Amino acid sequence: MDVKDIIKPENLVYEKPGMLTANTMHYCPGCSHGVVHKLIAEIIEDLGIQEKTIGVAPVGCSVFAYNYIDIDWQEAAHGRAPALATGISRTNPDKIVFTYQGDGDLASIGTAEIMHACNRGENFAVIFINNGIYGMTGGQMAPTTLLGQVTATTPYGRDAERNGYPLKITELIAQLPGTSYVTRQSVHTPAAIRRCKKAITKAFEAAMDKKGTSFVEVVSTCNMNWKMTPVQANQWMEENMFPFYPPGDIKDGSKADPASFKQN
């Protein structure tokens, strides 16, 4: 059978989701952002919520997310996406709101905003891309950079005495009473991407059902700033990031019952 006989519309099994625009992404070759954008586009299409979804984009590489996913977007100041999402979700309770943030945005300058939004149990989903480095500005050390990892500002590797310890922000957020679903995923293999899609779907459904904040960390690569090929970066992530940031659900339930907080 010739290839030309297979390539027919009736045999189609996978194509670009209609929610993704025709713009070429500005991300570097092999960047995990593209995969997560595609998953979000597929999920919004599957749930049929294009008209009522509002995304809040951060400062970072994904600042141009509004160019690629065909929904309504708001651009937040650096780290303030959860504060903006709080306002949008409270004033538009019929909309589904999500933030899309990187580790320099969420775990560094925006730590206060994400902590308090999750503590209040605001009804939105958070997609957190953790690649352990500041990608957009040229590969400086982020709070999530691993000990010993070489970056532009830690040329001899991150040292705990000098630079402090890596921040496991997802574990911190899982302890907050306002969160209903906290998970850590990755997008380096087809199986991991399918699991990640299920997790993000669950997070969006939690936001639709007003269950409290749902938080999905995606352990990602930044091959350009790690100075590796995309394939090497995925291997490096498996060998070095996963022991410290193990994938899996951290919290899967509902937000805390106010009755359990009664003071005598």
Q: Is residue 121 a contact point for another protein (CB under 8 A)?
A: no
Nearer to another protein among residue 119 and residue 232 (C-beta)? 232
Q: Is residue 198 a contact point for another protein (CB under 8 A)?
A: no
**Residues 69, 20 contacting (CB under 8 angstroms):** yes
Q: Residues 155, 77, 205, 172: what is their CA dihedral angle, to the nearest 10 degrees?
A: 50
Q: Is residue 239 a contact point for another protein (CB under 8 A)?
A: no
Nearer to another protein among residue 169 and residue 192 (C-beta)? 192
Q: Is residue 194 a contact point for another protein (CB under 8 A)?
A: yes
Count, residues near another protein per rule CB under 8 A: 35
In this structure, which amino acid lies at residue 133? I
**Residues 114, 76 contacting (CB under 8 angstroms):** no
Q: Cβ neighbours of residue 36 under 8 Å, at least 6 residues apart?
A: 100, 127, 129, 187, 196, 218, 220
Q: Is residue 7 a contact point for another protein (CB under 8 A)?
A: yes
Q: Which of 227, 231, 244, 253 binds another protein (CB under 8 A)?
A: 231
Q: Is residue 30 a contact point for another protein (CB under 8 A)?
A: yes
Q: Is residue 27 a contact point for another protein (CB under 8 A)?
A: yes
Sign of CA dihedral 191, 194, 101, 82: negative
Give min distance, CB of 261 to another protein, in A: 43
Q: Is residue 193 a contact point for another protein (CB under 8 A)?
A: yes
**Residues 173, 16 contacting (CB under 8 angstroms):** no
Q: Is residue 11 a contact point for another protein (CB under 8 A)?
A: yes
**Residues 143, 154 contacting (CB under 8 angstroms):** no
Contact residues for another protein (CB under 8 A)?
Answer: 1, 3, 5-8, 11-17, 20, 24-25, 27-35, 38, 187, 189-190, 193-194, 229-231, 234
